[in-house]
């Protein structure tokens, strides 16, 4: 079996792309997307008629057009996969709990009007305190959430305590930070802080029986992916999925609930907002990468908005 075939026996593979052709070819169980990926998808010639029709329907209201296109792309993805699609709330709302809730409810309503069961949708938002609190409420309404831009154990603890469905810890961005801080070109996977972070989160969740799923994200290499073989889910770019498919190498499972239980016990913690903020202030990785990630998602949406405004003329 190829490395990809082996990995599929241990882990749910998610396609980290909004490219419908890639999703159709790769046939992942789930798919996830963000504004920059949606922008790439909408540049594709096959999507131009849909783009023009949506622009006309909303009379050039760019925010309404972006939301409608986000839902449309999500529906198109769901026609190609068996599982769920993650649909991201506007990152400008990352520090506003109520606005995040309102936008999530709008998205779920739009999906339901399009004939999509809400069980097939994950609402994706940044793992700020406000985002986590929004997810806490949404989960009580049976609206499932994917908390992204997750870099620190304190974020993971708060997400599990809030009962969120899924978290997306960012492996590659932590490694990038590590390389900058340590002035290193290469970091062996055994020393990779991104890989270590996901392993710790997985261990904590399994030891304490949380239902929240861990989906490793933002990979830079197949070595990082294989180091997390057995994680609940892994969201992987098409290029890395293709690389795994071409690899003829045997590897062993690295994560399982049983393995987690055999490791040293980790203390169960519940964080207040003040404790969460204090942990954030002590976590240099999250302090650097969380706001930068939010700004990046906002920038990607702004680029899309500019392109749409230019089309409107």
Contact 194, 177 (CB under 8 A): no
Catalytic residue, from 72, 103, 124, 206: name it: 124
What b-and-e string marks burial along 90-106, b requiring 16 or more CB atoms within 10 Å of the CB?
bbebbebbebbbebbee
Q: How far apart are CA 214 and CA 184, in angstroms?
A: 28
pLDDT of residue 137: 98
Residue with tokens 């109520």: 98
Sequential pLDDT tens for the chain (313 residues): 999 999 999 999 999 887 888 899 998 999 977 676 677 767 778 778 888 888 888 887 889 999 998 898 899 899 999 999 999 999 999 999 999 999 999 999 999 999 999 999 999 999 999 999 999 999 999 999 999 999 999 999 999 999 999 999 999 999 999 999 999 999 999 999 999 999 999 999 999 999 999 999 999 999 999 999 999 999 999 999 999 999 999 999 999 999 999 999 999 999 999 999 999 999 999 999 999 999 999 998 898 888 888 876 6
pLDDT of residue 52: 83
Q: How far apart are CA 145 and CA 164, in angstroms?
A: 6
pLDDT of residue 307: 80
Fold of 3-312: TIM Barrel (3.20.20)
Q: How far apart are CA 109 and CA 100, in angstroms?
A: 14
Please name which of 16, 2, 76 lies closest in space to residue 216, comparing C-alpha atoms.
16
For the chain, which residues make up each domain, given as ranges? 3-312
Is 292 in the active site? no
Beta carbons within 10 angstroms of residue 49's beta carbon: 9
- pTM across the whole model: 0.94
Beta carbons within 10 angstroms of residue 310's beta carbon: 8
């Amino acid at each position: 079996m190829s490395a990809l075939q082996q990995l599929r026996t241990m882990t749910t593979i998610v396609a980290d792309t909004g490219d419908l052709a890639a999703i159709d070819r790769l046939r992942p169980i789930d798919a996830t997307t963000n504004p920059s990926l949606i922008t790439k998808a909408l540049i594709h010639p096959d999507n131009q008629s849909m783009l023009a029709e949506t622009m006309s329907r909303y009379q050039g209201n760019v925010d309404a057009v972006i939301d409608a296109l986000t839902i449309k792309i999500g529906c198109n993805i769901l026609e190609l996969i068996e599982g769920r699609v993650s649909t991201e709330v506007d990152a400008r709302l990352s520090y506003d709990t109520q606005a995040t809730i309102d936008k999530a409810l709008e998205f779920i309503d739009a999906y339901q009007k399009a004939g999509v069961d809400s069980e097939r949708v994950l609402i994706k938002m940044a793992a700020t305190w406000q985002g986590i609190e929004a997810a806490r409420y949404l989960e009580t309404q049976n609206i499932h959430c994917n908390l992204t831009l997750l870099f620190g154990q304190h974020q993971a603890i708060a997400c599990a305590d809030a009962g969120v469905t899924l978290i997306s810890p960012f492996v590659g961005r932590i490694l990038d930070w590590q390389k900058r801080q340590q002035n290193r070109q290469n970091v062996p996977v055994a020393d990779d802080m991104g890989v270590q972070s996901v392993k710790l989160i997985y261990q904590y969740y399994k030891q304490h029986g949380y239902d929240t799923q861990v989906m490793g994200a933002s990979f830079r290499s197949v070595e990082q992916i294989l180091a997390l073989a057995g994680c609940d889910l892994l969201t992987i770019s098409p290029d890395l999925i293709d690389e795994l498919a071409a690899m003829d190498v045997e590897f062993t499972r690295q994560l399982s609930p049983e393995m987690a239980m055999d490791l040293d016990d980790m203390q169960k913690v519940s964080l207040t907002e003040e404790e969460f903020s204090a942990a954030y202030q002590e976590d240099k990785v999250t302090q650097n990468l969380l706001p930068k990630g939010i700004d990046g998602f906002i920038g990607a949406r702004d680029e899309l908005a500019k392109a749409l405004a230019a089309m409107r003329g």
